[in-house]
Chains A and B, each alone.
Chain A
Amino acid sequence: MTTMMTTKKSWKLISCCVVVALLAVAIGCAPKSETTAPAEQAFQVKKLPANAENAGFLHVYSKLEPSAEVEGLLTYKNPDAMKNLHRYVAIIFDPVEIYVQSDDDPSELPKEGAEAAVSYFKYAIKSAISDAFPIVDKPGPLVLRLRTALVGVDVGDQPGEAPDEEGAKALPRKINIGAVRAEFELVDSVTGDVIAAAVDTKEFKSASIGATHFERMARFNEARTAFDEWAEGLRDFLDAAHELKGKDAERADKAYEPYTSF
């Protein structure tokens, strides 16, 4: 009887050991949990270099030319047929870069204000272009990377304004965007080649942001208009770049035949 009990106990002990060993092996073999990547930052703040001709954001400043089709735009289109805008079908957003004036301190730019501005700007761009260039979340073939910058943001001395909108907060400092230039660059998301670029030189003198959710408040209408028009400018540029002209138009017309003719 005692022998039987001892045997049972030893079996229990052995099975416990086996279970523990199996667990240890399982834990050892399990893939290591991936470290959570920090949430992608929606924007970066930089300082405009003093006395510089440009912000250094675009790769093609020297090749920009005034657009014949869209007023107030300086544009560039890659002349290589293999790097033509027509060859791409979707867009992925890069974080927006904000360049503050050379006499401003980037750390004084209110973070919540910059977030609100970038968030509305991205919304305006998406509304303006997504039916023609769907927005995707991963790079790949046929996908363009849209690099965007707001150049010349002025961190004012005045404090923000008390918001008249529920849930909005006054900013510690007003952000003036009256002298901002919106710069856009479209690069191949795989190779990094610059496919096109545009700079919108339209100015909205009294545009400023004094509170979060500024887009809902009438007193910041000018800022909202600025973002909307810069986004529209980008769409106009894309439309103009896709318009078929000359020999391309002739060939497209000659080649097109519907499949339902008898």
Chain B
Amino acid sequence: MASAKPIKRTDIPKGEINPKLWDVRNYRTKGDRVYEQVRHTLALMPYITDFDFISFAMVGDQVILTGWTIRITNRDSARRRVESVEGVGSVTNNIVVLPLGRMDMSIRAQARARLQRHLSRYFWGSGSDIKIIVKNGDIILLGAVTRQADKDIANIQCRTVPGAFHVFNLLRVEPGKEKKG
């Protein structure tokens, strides 16, 4: 079996990718003031539902937005909000707007109903700690739960949703985060 060769920096054509992106030491992380402000501003976006997830990385003063949303407004609003944070230079917007096909809508509704029934403590008034991204029949679970058992329950419940092809369970297990039902 042929093994994949690691890519060297010299293999990449000059000017195509910012070389800073290759070194994790250039990324801003938790504890950094600007990083925290960007995180906070994205956390409070009003139209984020259980079916949207916006992530970001910050290299120097450059913010790279990624993720999925079902609303165009979230894509535009995330860029606007992040651009307005003091200390942010440029914003690359790679957020994908998901289509609202009938099948995907049905999967979204059923996945949420099942998760809410079995893991109700992660769902609250106007949001949830578990994000359910549905794209062309595939389900991606994002967010955090406090126990491995809850992550497994989420997986089992989503796999039984009619019409769902695959479940990519990317839920993080963070025992420190207490969830109140």
* A interface, CB within 8 angstroms of B: 81, 84, 86-87, 89-90, 130-134, 136, 138, 140-143, 239, 242-244, 247-249, 251-262
Contacts and interface: CB of A to CB of B under 8 A. Distances in A.
Contacts of A90: 100, 105
B18 interface: no
B84 interface: no
Contacts of B39: 256-258
Contacts of A142: 105, 108-109
Contacts of A261: 27, 29-30, 57
Interface residues of B, number: 43
B143 interface: yes
18 contacts: A81-B124, A84-B125, A89-B49, A134-B100, A140-B106, A141-B106, A142-B105, A143-B105, A239-B46, A244-B44, A244-B126, A248-B124, A253-B44, A256-B39, A257-B144, A258-B55, A259-B170, A260-B64
Contact of A251 (B24, B49, B110, B124): B124
Contact of B129 (A81, A140, A242, A255): A255
B71 A132 contact: yes
A84 B126 contact: yes
Interface of B: 24, 27, 29-30, 39-40, 42-44, 46-49, 51, 54-57, 64, 66, 70-73, 76, 100, 102, 105-106, 108-110, 124-127, 129, 142-144, 170, 172, 177
B2 to A, nearest CB: 30
A191 to B, nearest CB: 12
B41 to A, nearest CB: 10
Contacts of B109: 140-142
Report which residue of B46, B51, B71 has the largest number of chain A beta carbons within 10 angstroms of its beta carbon. Answer: B46
B147 to A, nearest CB: 16
A257 to B, nearest CB: 7
Contact of A131 (B57, B72, B143): B72
Instruction: Identify whether the interface residues of B are mostly helix, strand, loop, or mixed.
Output: mixed
A131 B172 contact: no
Contacts of B76: 131
Given A255-B143, A257-B172, A262-B27, A242 B56 contact: no
Contacts of B126: 84, 86, 242, 244, 248, 252
B1 to A, nearest CB: 30
B105 A132 contact: no
Given A90-B100, A131-B71, A243 B57 contact: no
Contacts of B129: 255
A131 B42 contact: no
Nearest to B56: A258
Nearest to B71: A132
Nearest to B43: A256
A253 B43 contact: yes
Nearest to A241: B46
Contact of A242 (B30, B47, B100): B47
Contacts of A262: 24, 27, 29
B12 to A, nearest CB: 20
Nearest to A135: B100
